[in-house]
Structure 1
Amino acid sequence: MLLTKFTHSCVRFEQDGRALVVDPGTFSEVEEALEGAGAVLVTHEHPDHIDLDRVVAALSRNLSVELWAPRGVADAVREGLGDAAGERVHAVAGGEEFSAAGFGVRTFGGQHALIHPLVPLVANVGFLIDGVYHPGDSFIVPDGIDVDTLLVPVHAPWSKLAEVVDFVVSVRAPRAFQIHDALLNDTGLGMVEGHVTRLGSRYGTAFAHLAVRESIEI
């Protein structure tokens, strides 16, 4: 399976001519990521994880693309698509299993990490796609399964470095790559990734940086 990193939290999975995209947000190369994709997964409603207008436009152009997201996101996409929505927009919560573009998907969690008590919480669903875990904006550790590859939100208004490291240590995936990194400059990213690399390795996780548009076989 080929994993391609796009800006911030957007990633694309490809295998046997099939493609699935997670979190094509406003910081991301949405049209490029979605080209030829058969499915879109969205962890939550914040615009850095779904560029609603561009995603709706992409789904309007290709009526075979399906989308899975928390109910609020799914409703917004259905409204944007109108009659073109059909039965291909699916609301999901934690604790579900389904197939998307031929990829096996399990969902975890259900709530976005706390930003501030004055900022309302929204739904957030983490997706495990054929052994690769994308948590969205949360540090929910999947229960009852082994994660092969972890996508780590390395920086956010809702996190601190200690929580990032604890998340990596708790999941104990053999390998990990960064997501949610668009708000860091090179200096900050190097510092955070250095800690994650050094401390994660003590618990069996090999962390590596993926550049934008870089692909890796997993």
Structure 2
Amino acid sequence: MKLTKFTHACVRLEKDGRVLVLDPGNFSETGEALAGAEAVLITHEHADHIDVPAVAGALRSATDLVLYAPAGVADQMRTEVPEATARINAVDPGTSLDVAGFAVRSFGGQHALIHPQIPVVANIGYLIDDNVYHPGDSFIVPDGISVKTLLVPLHAPWSKSAEVVDFVVSVRAPRAFQIHDGLLNDNGLKVVEGHVKRIGAKYGTEYNHLRAGESVEV
């Protein structure tokens, strides 16, 4: 399976000529990421994880494109693109799906707390083909399975470096790559990645940085 990272939280997966995209948000190169996609998975409603105009446009132009998201996001997208209602699906945590030829399992249910005065929204983490895990904006550790490739939310208003490192240590995937790095400059990126790489290695996780647009086989 080919994994391509885009700016911030968006990831494109390709296998056997089929394409699945996760979290094409407004920090990302959504047009490039969504080109030829059969399915889109959305973790939660924040704009850096779903660029609503771009995804709505893709649903209108590609009549075989399907979308999976938490119920609130699914309802919003049905309003935006009523002609695509049958292709827009709500996802609950703890479900298994066959999406564009990929086996998908869902975890979690809640976005990490930003502040007590900021409402908590629904968040779904997705495990693809018992391999790639995208947690969205959460540190939910999938239960009962071994993750092979972990996508690490490196920096966010809702996290601190200790929590990022503990998440990597808890999942203990053999390899990890960063997501949610769009708010860091180069100096901040080096600091946080240094901690993740050094401490993660003690627990069997090899961490590597992917540039925006870079691909890797997983």
Which TM bucket (shorter chain)? over 0.9
Amino acid at match of 1:101: A
CA distance in 1 between counterparts of 2:178 and 2:66 reads 26
Question: Partner of 2:187 in structure 1?
Answer: 187
- Superposition deviation, residue 93 in structure 1: 1.4
* Distance across 2 between alignment mates of 1:85 and 1:60: 7
Which digits, 9 at most, give the CA deviation of each residue in 1:101-153, with x for residues without a partner?
10000000000000000000000000001110000000000000000000000
Match runs of 1:73-84 below 5 Å: 73-82=73-82, 84=83
Amino acid at match of 1:109: G
Cα offset, 1:51, TM superposition: 0.5
Residue aligning to 1:154: 154
Q: Tell me how far apart the structure 2 counterparts of residues 80 and 63 of structure 1 sit (CA, whole Å).
A: 15
| SS state at 2:167 partner | helix
Deviation string for 1:39-93 (max 9, x for gaps)?
A: 00000000000000110011100010000000010011111111x2141110001
Calculate the TM-score normalised by the size of structure 1. Answer: 0.99
Which residue identity does 2:201 align to in structure 1? S
Match runs of 1:107-118 below 5 Å = 107-118=106-117
The separation in 2 between residues aligned to 1:54 and 1:36, in whole angstroms, is 14
Q: Give, in whole Å, the separation in 2 of the partners of 1:149 and 1:69.
A: 21
Gaps of 5+ in 1: none
SS at match of 1:87: helix
Tell me, yes or no, if structure 1 residue 215 matches structure 2 residue 215: yes
SS class of match (2:57): helix
Task: Name stretches of at least 5 consecutive residues in structure 2 with no aligned partner.
Answer: none
Find the counterpart in structure 1 of residue 166 from structure 2.
166
Partner residue, 2:199: 199
Partners of 1:201 and 1:103 lie apart in 2 by: 29
Note the alpha carbon deviations across 1:170-207, whole angstroms, 9 max, x for none.
00000000000000000000110000000000000000
Helix, strand or coil at the partner of 2:158: coil
| Fraction of identical pairs, as percent | 66
Whole-angstrom CA distance in 2 between matches of 1:93 and 1:51: 21
Q: Distance in 2 between matches of 1:57 and 1:79?
A: 13
CA distance in 1, matches of 2:98, 2:215: 23
**For residues 1-218 of structure 1, what are the structure 2 equivalents within 5 Å?**
1-82=1-82, 84-130=83-129, 131-218=131-218
What amino acid maps onto 2:104 in structure 1?
V
State the one-letter code of the partner of 1:15.
K
